[in-house]
Structure 1
Amino acid sequence: MALAVTSSSTAISGSSFSRSGASSESKAVQICSIRLSDRTHLSQRRYSVKSITAESHSCSESWVPRASTLTAPEVEEKDGEVEDFEQLAKKLVDASPLEIMDKALEKFGDDIAIAFSGAEDVALIEYARLTGKPFRVFSLDTGRLNPETYRLFDAVEKQYGIRIEYMFPDAVEVQALVRNKGLFSFYEDGHQECCRVRKVRPLRRALKGLKAWITGQRKDQSPGTRSEIPIVQVDPVFEGLDGGVGSLVKWNPLANVEGADVWNFLRTMDVPVNALHAQGYVSIGCEPCTRPVLPGQHEREGRWWWEDAKAKECGLHKGNIKEEDGASEDSKPAAVQEIFESNNVVTLSKGGIENLMKLENRKEAWLVVLYAPWCPFCQAMEASYIELAEKLAGKGVKVAKFRADGDQKEFAKQELQLGSFPTILIFPKSAPRAIKYPSEHRDVDSLMTFVNLLR
């Protein structure tokens, strides 16, 4: 996710330097950033050094670097002028990403930065370059990124002649988390705590030195959390340079652009991309929490795959997750179309699946998917599950579905091994307990192999 920021890693452009005479313990890494898309402008404009001051920290955070950046003259604002960003978003709804980027850089000058996470976010940097305006880039280095992501950072710096401004997690906080809970506690109790230490808090420090940031969010990235993101908005979660609610503006130039169009743009402009994309990775975050996806799976299914689909946010864009009237999304009546509708798929009630669990010698094996109809990952496997049901019809295996969200979720967690949606179980003819399908591969052939081996 960078200042003028984007998702999991964040970076600010600049060349590093250190103060002479500082002790090795207190020496702060400072990053100087030339916000120019080419060297020609450097000789034509005067720049002043401006300190990006992070929020005050406890003793444990005293080592965190401050970034200094060569900045263009600040954009002057008219006295008494208050921007209505909701109206601005409506005006820009049909604008191109290039127009939106140009507007953002024009309005905020040196007080805005691009958040760069190392995936398709390179498109943001390319659009910024095309405007001809100075720009800054920042990225969050969590310490657990893939080697391919670090290589992309280096390639991007060389391609654009910039220095990405990296923000790092607090060493003391990381040390405490790992010592107390181990390196992979997020597999057991969720990703939020680790993301808060390694991503959210470093991002908060970075944004306190800005008035606006730019992200690579798109509406089609995550139907559960990003379907309503505007082109520009007052950030609902983080504070900017002036402090307080409403002090930070968030720009999403790619909000209305589809992923396929972003990739067409990247190929056309021949810019560096993460080598992991060629291995099936689409949405790329930290190495332990990212997997490649299969054809037909949604891109966010490769992130935090062990958790519910609706929670596929690390905290950088927490404002996308909405709760109304104190109720969570899966506890409310779902205003979505039912899925897995087929004559070959049996719909089980809670009583029906409880009876199935009690049977020790079944006449037939049962394959059951625990699902939520609003879940994009359940929707993505609908066609393959129905096809599987057709192939198994009359062959000694019943195929069924059990809706496990809302009031049934706790029951499904305690009794049916539900970890995330979808969860697939097989009840063999002779085994008393259900066996959970362990793979993320939900194509027909993989599911058929699972059934044939255990029926």
Structure 2
Amino acid sequence: MALSLSSSTAIHGSLSSSSSHEHIKVGSKFGSFQPLDRASILSTPARRLVVKPLNAEPKRNNSIVPAAATIAAPEVGEKIEVEDYEKLAKELENASALEIMDKALAKFGNDIAIAFSGAEDVALIEYARLTGRPFRVFSLDTGRLNPETYKFFDTVEKQYGIHIEYMFPDAVEVQALVRSKGLFSFYEDGHQECCRVRKVRPLRRALKGLRAWITGQRKDQSPGTRSEVPVVQVDPVFEGLEGGVGSLVKWNPVANVDGKDVWNFLRAMNVPVNSLHSQGYVSIGCEPCTRPVLPGQHEREGRWWWEDAKAKECGLHKGNLKEDNLNGNGNGASVHANGTTTVADIFDSKNIVSLTRPGIENLLKLENRSEPWIVVLYAPWCRFCQAMEGSYVELAEKLAGSGVKVAKFQADGDQKTFAQQELQLGSFPTILFFPKYSSRPVKYPSENRDVDSLLAFVNALR
């Protein structure tokens, strides 16, 4: 574990050597907790619950690991003061990641743990080390991680002298899912069910033994879901040790840090990183659901690439999904009572034809078109669509007068089901080419959305 339960020695230093850090009495045997006597309680300078394990083995030579669902009840009860975390988030808005980390560890001590995925959030562990305070780290082993990620876990443990507390999915639930739906059902019906079994439920069990947790969420990390992540918040989804709404606090120390600055920090501090990063992986999850991204693509395009941008959360941070991201239109935009939306349309150009539903239906019916068409199926709120807007507009300019029509069709909301069934829509954006003498459109297969790649596609089929 990140904090040894059988010793008072903390990571990178002794708890007893610092007057600013509290002394914690725990039983010498894992899972056996001794209540503090009254004299000790009265002499303790600050509030503290008895240390509770995150359901992981304390030493490598132990052969028996406690059941994942076993949570030790606190031996000492106490009244938790209510704090305004919205106010605290505003106060820390301009604070450094190190300052926020220090505040979190100081406030919650052994009742808080860092969630480590095996990606660039290793920066959190380095920040925790720099505070000089003891800290705990846990990770979700889904059973489907890349071999490189498992090797990275081992490297991190040795580098920092810690023991990561692993949480595993329930074997019976995994077995039922695989037997009934196969190993790769998520490619057909979405990743949420598999993530719920392999990640969300194990996380819920882990968090029930804590009062707070630390994540590596950043505002620039995921289109449509993390742009408003605060540095600290009451967790909107999960429950903590005391149970009930508001019983768990969520800290996001790097919320305001750009991805490039995280990497500058890792390089400056010579922090070990997952070898998958050198292969083009940025956001790293389970092996079947993670792939490298191409230059210019957003990092989350490497996760669940067959799904919409707004769905790129596994459930661990479901609270990021606003209600307007899940409205009936399914477009991720804020819809007002009069039906208008705050998201402006994209691909606006005199060289791009805006197709209506009847228009694209007619295009589908034509077997002998007078001219070929290239059409992008898009959603205005989609960051990936927005990212390729310049390339597509430039493509339209290059093809002006060439005999190839360039068009767009807004395929979200009420049109999404039709687009999925009739237009091969998988995720946004989807690009189709309607040849001159063919009834069926050809789907653009590449993730390269620069103008040269799009032009090569058109020229190969025109």
Class of the TM-score when normalised by the shorter of the 2 chains: 0.7 to 0.9
Question: Match of 1:301?
Answer: 301
* SS across alignment from 1:48: coil
Q: Kindly tell me: are residues 325 and 207 of structure 1, through their superposed partners in 2, closer, same or farther at Cα, counting changes over 3 Å?
A: closer
The reply on whether 1:354 has 2:328 as its aligned counterpart is no
Deviation at 1:158, TM superposition (A): 1.1
Q: Kindly tell me: are residues 53 and 14 of structure 1, through their superposed partners in 2, closer, same or farther at Cα, counting changes over 3 Å?
A: closer
Deviation at 1:263, TM superposition (A): 1.0
Question: Match of 2:48?
Answer: none
Q: State which structure, 1 or 2, has the greater radius of gyration over its C-alpha atoms.
A: 2
For 2:106 and 2:447, the matched residues in 1 are separated by 45
* SS across alignment from 1:52: coil
Q: Kindly tell me: are residues 373 and 88 of structure 1, through their superposed partners in 2, closer, same or farther at Cα, counting changes over 3 Å?
A: same
User: Relative contact order (alpha carbons < 8 A, sep ≥ 6): 1 or 2 greater?
Assistant: 1
Q: Kindly tell me: are residues 430 and 271 of structure 1, through their superposed partners in 2, closer, same or farther at Cα, counting changes over 3 Å?
A: same
- Does the Cα contact within 8 Å between 2:71 and 2:208 map onto a contact in 1? no
Between the two proteins, what is the percent identity of the paired residues? Answer: 75
Question: Match of 1:149?
Answer: 149
Question: Match of 1:340?
Answer: 347
Question: Match of 1:264?
Answer: 264
Mapping for residues 44-83 of structure 1, pairs under 5 Å: 47-49=25-27, 50-52=51-53, 63-64=67-68, 81-83=81-83
Q: 2:418 aligns with which of 391, 404, 411?
A: 411
- Does the Cα contact within 8 Å between 2:137 and 2:165 map onto a contact in 1? yes
Deviation at 1:367, TM superposition (A): 0.7
The reply on whether 1:446 has 2:446 as its aligned counterpart is no
Question: Match of 2:275?
Answer: 275
Question: Match of 1:128?
Answer: 128
For 1:125 and 1:251, the matched residues in 2 are separated by 14
Deviation at 1:222, TM superposition (A): 1.5
Deviations 1:351-385 (A, max 9, x none): 21111111111122111000011100111111222
For 1:372 and 1:386, the matched residues in 2 are separated by 16
> Mean Cα displacement is larger for which, 142-151 or 210-219?
142-151
Deviation at 1:13, TM superposition (A): 2.7
Mapping for residues 91-110 of structure 1, pairs under 5 Å: 91-110=91-110
Deviations 1:182-230 (A, max 9, x none): 1110000000000000000000010010000000001111130111111
* Matched pairs, number: 417
Question: Match of 1:38?
Answer: 12
Question: Match of 2:45?
Answer: none
Any unmatched runs of 5+ in structure 1? 1-11, 16-30, 55-61, 69-73
- Does the Cα contact within 8 Å between 1:384 and 1:444 map onto a contact in 2? yes
For 2:451 and 2:438, the matched residues in 1 are separated by 24
* SS across alignment from 1:330: coil
Q: Kindly tell me: are residues 313 and 32 of structure 1, through their superposed partners in 2, closer, same or farther at Cα, counting changes over 3 Å?
A: farther
Question: Match of 1:7?
Answer: none
2:448 aligned partner, one-letter code: H
Q: Kindly tell me: are residues 88 and 250 of structure 1, through their superposed partners in 2, closer, same or farther at Cα, counting changes over 3 Å?
A: same
For 1:445 and 1:324, the matched residues in 2 are separated by 36
The reply on whether 1:207 has 2:241 as its aligned counterpart is no
1:365 aligned partner, one-letter code: P
Mapping for residues 305-454 of structure 1, pairs under 5 Å: 305-324=305-324, 327-328=327-328, 329-330=330-331, 332=335, 333-454=340-461
- Coordinate RMSD, CA, aligned: 2.6
TM-score under structure 1 length normalisation:
0.86
Q: Kindly tell me: are residues 269 and 325 of structure 1, through their superposed partners in 2, closer, same or farther at Cα, counting changes over 3 Å?
A: closer
- Does the Cα contact within 8 Å between 1:112 and 1:212 map onto a contact in 2? yes
Q: Kindly tell me: are residues 34 and 151 of structure 1, through their superposed partners in 2, closer, same or farther at Cα, counting changes over 3 Å?
A: farther
Any unmatched runs of 5+ in structure 2? 28-50, 56-65
For 2:278 and 2:412, the matched residues in 1 are separated by 35
- Does the Cα contact within 8 Å between 1:52 and 1:66 map onto a contact in 2? no
Q: Kindly tell me: are residues 121 and 35 of structure 1, through their superposed partners in 2, closer, same or farther at Cα, counting changes over 3 Å?
A: farther
2:200 aligned partner, one-letter code: V
- Does the Cα contact within 8 Å between 1:196 and 1:315 map onto a contact in 2? yes
Deviation at 1:64, TM superposition (A): 3.1
- Does the Cα contact within 8 Å between 2:68 and 2:205 map onto a contact in 1? no
For 2:453 and 2:127, the matched residues in 1 are separated by 41
- Does the Cα contact within 8 Å between 1:200 and 1:316 map onto a contact in 2? yes
Q: Kindly tell me: are residues 291 and 326 of structure 1, through their superposed partners in 2, closer, same or farther at Cα, counting changes over 3 Å?
A: closer
Deviation at 1:251, TM superposition (A): 0.5
Deviations 1:242-273 (A, max 9, x none): 11111111001111111111111111111011
Deviation at 1:393, TM superposition (A): 2.5
* SS across alignment from 1:138: strand
For 1:42 and 1:451, the matched residues in 2 are separated by 70
- Does the Cα contact within 8 Å between 2:115 and 2:213 map onto a contact in 1? yes
Question: Match of 1:170?
Answer: 170
For 2:200 and 2:146, the matched residues in 1 are separated by 19
For 1:351 and 1:408, the matched residues in 2 are separated by 11
For 1:190 and 1:121, the matched residues in 2 are separated by 26
